[in-house]
Structure 1
């Protein structure tokens, strides 16, 4: 394979709300770059990047897929991500390791709820991006309205590089504002297009939007601003250089448009990716912490530097087993070599390195910094962990993943399935950090939790198809949490057992207090004077955390709690780690029961789109579901409603909204926050748990 210098390498993601056209756009990229020789279709289940059977059947992207394409002497590593909120973890971990991204918007629907989510994710990792307003050929397409929403809803600073020629059925192409020329497509597959002078009917529009381009650049680039104020001529080369500087710095977002399904507008996206998004060399050295000194260290993107790589995705392959996707930040990774996992302090051997094209593999001997590759043979490494040269330790910033919001009970149908179920659950947990498995001792059930009904449905189907496990599942349940509302300064936990021979003795005193939302459970020790020997304190912490995870009032995990070990006592002979672990568990449970406990429920950010004639009925139904309506408006000829609603009120809503609108309404929602449940709902939660336990006894 031809070698590509780092300054001609791009690592990008394609992100968007579901059905905005991510995978369709990626398929065109593969076609025009010669990576595939036939256009794939999402609707027909032939899209290259949607390789999973369920993706082809459902017509949605479920897992992020990687490939590499080549365009005008540039190598572009591409990750196509899911748009459904249930699979948002795939977007999160992809953006963590990418240098740039293309955010796609539906020209009819504008900025949708998941568009806002992926934008915030890109903001969090400071990822430079391009905007592509797709589906300009659709009825109701509105480039200018979507452009305005990018400013209003995302708080972005867009700069137009193109405006459309026509819209809906009359969409013919785009006008390149930098060069002031029309791009008009002349064949069905969009391979051939003509560059024409701007026609008279668009000259005023071009003048208006070229001014917006220069004004937007002037706000971000002093050189352009000076020339603009002094009314000096600004060349195309100067404008392009300024667009690149401002985009890489995250000061502006260039905007393009097209209709990917009609094969219009994709080649200019590729040009913009190469011209305006950063190479690995444009970004600052990656920061990490040396685990031996706790000092910050940097790793520069140099092939001869010590190896430093981040594992950002795990995938099971039926032929080679576990694939670990890596972003290499420094050094050169070699097949067959040993590297240190700094999180686990274990040495790992890379058996094989492969470049991925969807689910196909190309074996390579070595890969240098600035690249993305999959490794075979890393048995211990998990998502978010750092590997590198043993004599140059570094820990890169770990990834944070959202809490699951939906749970259900699962059990194997037969004894044979039972043996396979544990393996399947472990493998799926390893792949997906947003999938959580726990055993509820009170109900003797295995509980699986995820980001939504679809998320769990897909995983259960994967167990059946990939792991040959037949299961029985209960109805979906809300993943409630427990917390306290009152602080307690002293809560005792004692575990004393004496039944002949050596006894057990553990005694702890803790304080508990509510923490802010999202804090989890924090434990610290302030024991002084040797009241508890230092070697037993980790056991106390373990007991506290395990008791919190198992729940106290109704078996739901306890969160947002500060626990401080303040005192205790021990016995020279009978004290043990087990005794202090149990004492810690007892104290935590007592503290929660006495701390005026409450339940927290997941609140979802909801967006519903409906024709105007059904608006009243839909709002009435939402009010009955404890929905707090935040905003109502109109896009094209469709009304939209934005609100916050408890997840527990929304099971089965897809059927309801279709029924209320004769199949013409749609909705999307995403996790927003946890909030205290009303008293009557809390009573139902307790009664439901009591009836479950009674049914098991």
Structure 2
């Protein structure tokens, strides 16, 4: 019988944990659903079609997402495929929620980048890839919507390489586009599997056509094959072969073409994740690197989500396991609070459907019922003092003040905003007078927070413009400097949800002037979750 170490290593090796990143409307949520469909995790795909949709995407579970037809939270889904356990994290596509996306990307080992074949590389794609670069995250590229009138595949590859500085290696190649899109030819397997648009799975009698020069291809696609062969010959001449080491270093990306809505190319992406994406990797825990196959249990909270179940007003902490094995009822050390806590009933997810998790190892994402004791960035271990790094907060650039329409609901407003702040939906700052300031990356965050306060906390509030234009976290060389600064700048100071001191500037000029007058004080645009300022 295998020892625990051998079993643990074997289970870790099966894990694949990845996120899907894309610019809004590139088809990310559709691809998410189709991966679940091909993985056998769901039986029927529902499409996100906006307000009048009869069904909504499995991953878009929040009411406001279903109304708007966009993803604004991050969902976690686990399923098995080809002997592997796949943890798929669907990130917000909307740019206003980039902070939530960043935190999700700290919890994965690889990413699938979805590109709209008609639009090419877009602004949010550039930002998200920069985030992946910070961790050298391996990227698989899926060029989507080939069933529409799109740009030339060679031009798309050139654009990805030029703008994203990411070497592309095509693994499949499209046959036609738009109304004449016929499918994709595998360059590595040298065959085409005929797959009717919209079919959920490959049936046993699917036609397999071997070889690019096979006359059967000309019978089926007489108008397309000449250009396809010419393009493939050209691309083979200028592309480097796929190099797994360069891929794992985040330098080279295998590229797949397809149509998520028609299921073309989806299975190829799933197989690439299983074959090439890395198993869980070592993690920087501050004091040392933690290996995924170590026996002691460790991990960190990367997301808090309140009210996933409207009937039970619950809060779930999404926790990435970094080493060891979770077992129900186990006791761990909550390092920020320096106390022991029990994890009685951890969860795994299929969007909002939850199942009690009986076993989890490195790479898995578990949900922990949270009554306010867990915050984003918290580390749990079996005793060792560690603190996983790389989970930052960014200084917001948009601000509103908030006060309840009904003064008797001030406490409810404070409670609601505190919880939404802890889950990362918005940043909340409070000054000495008890005034609340909301800080956001994008305007949509304010709308979502207002709607959630109204529906989940039954608080209608007034959101008003403020004289705040930007914020900076502060650190001081000594207590005397801190006291002098706080006395002089009292009207411009507030504290964030974790009690850190923040300077609220009225303008960049105001900020620069203050910095000039106080050169010994440090003004920070970001802070690490486990980094505390005065």
1:104 aligns with 2:94: no
Change (3 A) 1:27 1:411: same
| 8 Å contact kept, 1:479–1:556 | no
1:595 aligns with 2:488: no
1:298 aligns with 2:302: no
Report how far residue 366 of structure 1 moved: 3.4
Other structure's SS at 2:119 match: coil
Report the Cα distance in structure 2 between the residues aligned to 1:594 and 1:127, rounded to whole angstroms: 38
Report how far residue 115 of structure 1 moved: 0.4
Report how far residue 250 of structure 1 moved: 2.2
| 8 Å contact kept, 1:11–1:76 | yes
Query: 4+ runs of 1 displaced by more than 6 Å?
Result: none
Larger radius of gyration: 1
Change (3 A) 1:548 1:247: farther
Report how far residue 344 of structure 1 moved: 3.2
The answer for the alignment partner of 1:369 in structure 2 is 362
The answer for the alignment partner of 2:259 in structure 1 is 259
Other structure's SS at 2:422 match: helix
Change (3 A) 1:306 1:596: closer
| 8 Å contact kept, 2:154–2:235 | no
The answer for the alignment partner of 2:285 in structure 1 is 288
TM (norm. structure 2) is: 0.83
| 8 Å contact kept, 1:521–1:560 | no
The answer for the alignment partner of 1:689 in structure 2 is none
Give 5+ residue unaligned stretches, structure 1: 218-241, 290-295, 483-517, 526-536, 562-588, 598-670, 672-697
Change (3 A) 1:134 1:417: same
The answer for the alignment partner of 1:628 in structure 2 is none
Report the Cα distance in structure 1 between the residues aligned to 2:315 and 2:342, rounded to whole angstroms: 13
| 8 Å contact kept, 2:428–2:439 | yes
The answer for the alignment partner of 1:541 in structure 2 is 482
Which of the two has greater strand per residue? 1
| 8 Å contact kept, 1:33–1:70 | yes
| 8 Å contact kept, 1:413–1:472 | yes
Report how far residue 593 of structure 1 moved: 10
Counterpart of 1:437 (choices 407, 414, 429) is 429
Counterpart of 2:397 (choices 401, 405, 422) is 405
List per-residue Cα deviations over 1:547-582 (Å, max 9, x = no partner).
658428xx9715999xxxxxxxxxxxxxxxxxxxxx
| 8 Å contact kept, 2:11–2:361 | no
Report the Cα distance in structure 2 between the residues aligned to 1:90 and 1:359, rounded to whole angstroms: 18
List per-residue Cα deviations over 1:193-235 (Å, max 9, x = no partner).
543232452333333323444xx23xxxxxxxxxxxxxxxxxx
Report the Cα distance in structure 2 between the residues aligned to 1:268 and 1:546, rounded to whole angstroms: 62
TM (norm. structure 1) is: 0.64
Report the Cα distance in structure 2 between the residues aligned to 1:27 and 1:11, rounded to whole angstroms: 16
Tell me: higher relative CO, structure 1 or 2? Use CA pairs within 8 A at least 6 residues apart.
Answer: 2
Report the Cα distance in structure 2 between the residues aligned to 1:184 and 1:429, rounded to whole angstroms: 49
Report how far residue 316 of structure 1 moved: 1.5
1:522 aligns with 2:475: yes
The answer for the alignment partner of 1:235 in structure 2 is none
Give 5+ residue unaligned stretches, structure 2: 1-6, 218-224, 494-501, 520-525, 527-534
Report how far residue 63 of structure 1 moved: 0.2
CA RMSD of aligned residues (A): 3.1
List per-residue Cα deviations over 1:504-544 (Å, max 9, x = no partner).
xxxxxxxxxxxxxx8x533113xxxxxxxxxxx3x763673
The answer for the alignment partner of 1:195 in structure 2 is 208
1:480 aligns with 2:430: no
**Count of residues paired in the alignment:** 480
Stretch moving more, 156-165 or 188-197 = 188-197
The answer for the alignment partner of 2:166 in structure 1 is 156
Change (3 A) 1:177 1:559: farther
Alignment of 1:35-46 (within 5 A): 35-43=41-49, 44=53, 45-46=55-56
Report the Cα distance in structure 2 between the residues aligned to 1:15 and 1:195, rounded to whole angstroms: 32
1:244 aligns with 2:244: yes
The answer for the alignment partner of 2:504 in structure 1 is 557
